[in-house]
A and B are shown apart, each in its own frame.
Chain A
């Protein structure tokens, strides 16, 4: 599975520009899905199990976003330096000295305007990308071109580090769970969503199209187990985290119970996640049409939204087991309000 994780994280696909990662994932799943389609916003939708009407199984949407945060060129100056803005939640502190790769293949390093040294954190507009051009005319970048972090994949044994672990690790879990799911009585839609990092946009339209009975996302969450981290009781190596809430969504308690009882039955270690900031595709799914019960299976991840995001390989394997177990058996949530 590490090979798959590397393949996914080595691909450059910032929000809105998911063509490359969609092709990679489609190749990985095409033998295992019963039906694959791409919708208007570029979401890759793979169905497993009986389609509508066949046996009346519960329709479940499982979302893992395939986009990553990145940068977009705003101006190429007379000397060939590229000014940029962010796509998604990029922390300026993670940028200086880093390297980026544009979707068109051009690579470059991030520099700071003179006079911005010292302890002050410079904003993005005091930074530029140097692609080795000597003037505007020999710069291969134009306004609107898109880039992502460049950082090699690092295998540390139990721990694995890469750019875009958020949320290629969720994609990897979804791919492996789909492969492991030989049969299911449920109508399962694995959705590899677009534009999550700019506001869970792909999940919103794909959920509208699928109109599921319930859903969950598979995404990274933060960590509380490095020096100075506080108020977050999730650590690497203690299993996937079952989300109870985050900054944008309260998981449906029935979904939380279903996930916890499944984990306990299958002896899968898990953690209870109470995240104060941030959110996932589940937020958009919960509010689509007349609303659905949602939850989230999280993979704890250190240094989220930096070019070096670290996960625990055991957590990932347990996440695959949990997701497969959730989808394998008939899903019957207790009724609320007669639905």
Chain B
């Protein structure tokens, strides 16, 4: 197995596109899981699928005093579940994971294993009053319209219709959160890190409460963990004395290093280690603004006897909507930073 430096080229774009076009709403990740298993099986020592559907792959290092490094990327995406059949192909639904109802209206969706196309519609402007147009539409008043010949049953899942595009320096697609992380982890597994035992977890059910990662961490019992995810960028011009001070992250500034959110206080030693590694390698990075949100790091940190954790995310705009936007360079730099950092992980880290 040749040691190679992971890069992003035509093959990786193709892989990301395949992952983004897959449908994998929380609890129904099998399409994504199949792609992951096919991609990694020849590069790892051991791989299995656990009871919840996590893909757990191990790649052993060589030599003494290797730390067990868990890498996590969640496979699932936000979506919908049909909860009642109103007849005529119209279905009531509930969201799986967090989606703002204002981001649902007028969107194409796909439902069920056969990917039946549908639409989340609303009254057109011809028939709304000025007062109605000032109010947000709420989930309970919306329907998924699958047409009168639909064979779809209540309980099936759906999500926004696949729509991957590369546009100049940008990636535009549904579910960049977190197929960017999944693609990144796959590329890392194709490289070789003899200094660590790599424990890669492609996890399920993150969007509904960091669930898969909890059992994955209990299985691996890692010495430390890095969670690779995608994080919102709220970097459109938003004026405060001429300065946007609540942006979370910004596109184009590189991988976003977490320091704290609702789920986790990232280990200060790992924050220092990762930012030092980025500076030394001259890889751009940004510190994600501390505040709300959560990642699988929260579950992993507190599983069993606990483990030091950190999250590193690719920034992207319009998270949890029909289409998000990320920059190719941010993805490249995230992969490059992880590659360089993982090579430097030894017990000396804790000194």
Contact = CB atoms under 8 A, between A and B. Distances in A.
Interface residues of A, number: 29
Nearest to A211: B305
A198 B291 contact: no
A137 B305 CA distance: 41
B308 A142 contact: no
B289 A143 contact: yes
A195 interface: yes
Binding site secondary structure of chain B: loop
Contacts of B291: 74, 85
Given A72-B259, A87-B265, A198-B265, A125 B289 contact: no
A15 B261 CA distance: 12
B289 A201 contact: no
Nearest to B247: A75
Contacts of B268: 16-17, 19
Given A40-B307, A40-B308, A41-B301, A195 B290 contact: no
Nearest to B268: A17
A202 B307 CA distance: 11
Nearest to A204: B302
B208 interface: no
Nearest to B266: A16
A16 B305 contact: no
A15 B301 CA distance: 14
Nearest to A195: B265
B260 interface: yes
Nearest to B292: A85
A205 interface: yes
A39 interface: yes
Most A CB contacts (10 A, CB to CB) among B266, B287, B302 go to B302
Interface string B151-162: 000000000000
A143 B305 contact: no
A143 B260 CA distance: 11
A87 B290 CA distance: 10
B243 interface: yes
A209 interface: yes
| 7 pairs of A and B residues whose beta carbons are closest in the complex | A205-B306, A16-B265, A144-B259, A209-B305, A41-B306, A143-B287, A74-B289
9 contacts: A15-B265, A16-B267, A40-B223, A75-B289, A78-B242, A204-B306, A205-B304, A208-B305, A208-B306
Interface of B: 223, 241-243, 245-246, 259-260, 265-268, 271, 287, 289-291, 301-302, 304-308
Interface of A: 15-17, 19, 39-41, 72-75, 77-78, 83, 85, 87, 125, 142-144, 195, 198, 201-202, 204-206, 208-209
Given A87-B265, A205-B302, 16 more contacts: A16-B266, A39-B305, A39-B306, A40-B223, A40-B307, A41-B301, A74-B245, A74-B289, A83-B245, A85-B291, A125-B246, A142-B287, A143-B289, A144-B290, A201-B302, A208-B305
